[in-house]
Amino acid sequence: MINAFNEADFHSRCDALAKKDKQLKNILKQHGYPPMWQRKPSFETLIHIILEQQVSLASAKAALNKLKEKIGSVTPKKLLVLTDEELRSCYFSRQKTKYARHLAWSIVNGELSIRKIVLLDDEDIRRALKKIKGIGDWTVDVFLLMALQRADIFPTGDLAMIKSLKKVKQLAEHTSKEEIIVLAEKWKPHRSVATMILWHSYIKEKKIKI
């Protein structure tokens, strides 16, 4: 059974976590509920997440906006028409140009259908997307969490979330991924919402404008 959250139950899931975890409760007390960040389950969203790999959110958004200025709606066929130079002018690195092209070709060739995979369970979606060059667990996690609102995603590759978690839990910098996964067990089946609360704390503490 697919476990997903929505606008109707988002705050109640936050409240359920606050009852389980005093640090998450303190974040909600201090900063209020996090926004329920959402994106469309689309090719454009996957391109956006690829652009966000290992760069700031602002840099990735600037690249996406530049691409949209050039081609309008972001579709696989439109992207494939662009030369490498044109993609570079949209701030795509050589590596991300390869990733974007591979994703676009996979859709055009019928190897991947976003419309079909969104109906699958989390792990089947993960397997399907990770066949695409440049898509790893972090990219899949963000897509599952933000585009599909799957409720129990815990993106251990997300540096902002991990930094926030270590701060609020007063964990040592060298705390292992395995220890963090064990710590997050008590947040099941709402780990996506816990992630959003931790992102919210990080953004507020750093005074980041989204």
Among 99, 124, 147, the domain-final residue is 147
- At 184 the pLDDT is 97
| Confidence at 181, pLDDT banded by 50, 70, 90 | very high
Output b/e per residue, 96-129; b: 16+ Cβ within 10 A: bbebbbbbbbbbeeeebebeebeeeebeebbebb
Tokens 């109640």 locate to: 12
- At 125 the pLDDT is 98
- At 208 the pLDDT is 84
Domain membership flag for residue 19:
yes
| Confidence at 94, pLDDT banded by 50, 70, 90 | very high
Report, as an integer, the average pLDDT of 175-198: 97
Query: Domain limits at 30?
Result: 10-36+152-206
| Confidence at 28, pLDDT banded by 50, 70, 90 | very high
Q: In this structure, are 110 and 69 located in the same domain?
A: yes
Among 105, 132, 147, the domain-final residue is 147
Instruction: Give percent of the chain with pLDDT exceeding 70.
Output: 100
Among 131, 147, 163, the domain-final residue is 147
Helices (H), the chain: 10-20, 22-31, 43-52, 57-71, 76-81, 84-88, 94-108, 114-117, 122-129, 137-142, 159-168, 177-183, 191-206
Domain membership flag for residue 113:
yes
The DSSP code for 132 is S
Question: What CATH number is associated with residue 71?
Answer: 1.10.340.30
Residue 1 scores a pLDDT above 90: no
| Confidence at 11, pLDDT banded by 50, 70, 90 | very high
Domain membership flag for residue 5:
no
Domain membership flag for residue 173:
yes
- At 210 the pLDDT is 72
Q: In this structure, are 32 and 116 located in the same domain?
A: no
Domain membership flag for residue 68:
yes
Q: How many domains does the chain have?
A: 2
